[in-house]
Structure 1
Amino acid sequence: MAKRLVQTLTQAGITNQRVLDVIQRTPRERFMPESLAHKAYENTALPIGNGQTISQPLMVATMTQLLIQHDCRHVLEIGTGSGYQTAVLAQLVEQVFSVERIAQLQYQAKRRLRSLDIHNVATRHGDGWEGWKSKAPFDGIIVTAAASELPAALLEQLADGGVLIIPVGETKQSLTVVRRFGDEFEQQRIGDVRFVPLVKGAVQ
């Protein structure tokens, strides 16, 4: 089933073999409710509770491929969710710092990652709009929810030469790649996407 998903991703334009290998060996069924496990290797987003979803594998692969084209070792993830994107990243970079606004999801993701023997991830319950200042700067930042505008704190926490992958927009959202060069930020729009909104504040 995982092989079939990888074939789908390849046909959809994912070319990075490291990304494809990691997706093939990461058990997606472990990151969703048991009742939906039979859909784990379909290329679709699925609900994980608390009004949140586990992203479509193609979107996980696309964002990860965009990120690791650059030399990203120290990565911030905004929106831990189920922990699936976190697990994929953790197998491709040195260290992942992941912020989740919903305490229950953060706790569950932390347990899942530990059970899969993934230990180069630090998770935190907090407001994704604020990033994780004490761990900055980051070579790469990946945001798994759509922001109404580019969050100023994330731009500040991006290292010089770093890359931010983020969906931006409300009614219409665009996957955007932001590169930092000193005090200048260069933006590139990749295409239209649909994500849950990046909500301010944290909840228990």
Structure 2
Amino acid sequence: MLKYLLILAISVLNANSAFAGWVDYPALYDVTGVAPDDVLNVREGQSASTPIINTLAPNQRNVEIVAVSNDERWGLVSFPEGSGWVSMRYMARQPGQDPQFLPKPLGCGGTEPFWGLSINNQTAQFDMMGESPRTYTPIWEDIPSGMQAVSYAVKMQGNGEDITAIISRNQCSDGMSDSVYGFRIDVILSGQSGNRYYTGCCSLN
């Protein structure tokens, strides 16, 4: 199963070919250069003539840019129940984001059943609807040998279980909204009760 997940994660090379510089995304940005009494418009498309569907505050921080347009002038952002495009002229990338390492903290989850996995530097927490939250310790992570950081493998242990997660830089939908996520995740839980396999999406926290 793990070999299959690695092959699946590497396939994102083709899936992301429509965007420029995609290996550096998703990434966190701050809004900049917008007047204090103004807002940054989130538009339906990659043009100032397309409808405004949301706005960002002039001092808004930690905005996740999921992808950029081919000309790198527009960035794709998500918000509850939707997604849209902002002008990259007014976005400043936060320092210290190296795509060679899995970005943390990272919040992941899926539906049917509803589950969540939060990964931090020292711990990870898995939540399943109807079950008590469980805490794990990440013990190993890596990227595909000899390749760009298009995907990451993470292994976690705790509660008599192992969690193996493959997280790939690939646009992802939760299947319930129009929000676009920048990471896909495949998770295998292995323990005394057997193996469980889940898929979902992740976003930068």
The TM-score normalised by the length of structure 1 is 0.24
Q: In proportion to residue count, which structure has more helix?
A: 1
Work out which of the two has the higher radius of gyration on C-alpha atoms and give 1 or 2.
2
Higher relative contact order (CA 8 A, sep 6+): 2
Q: In proportion to residue count, which structure has more strand?
A: 2
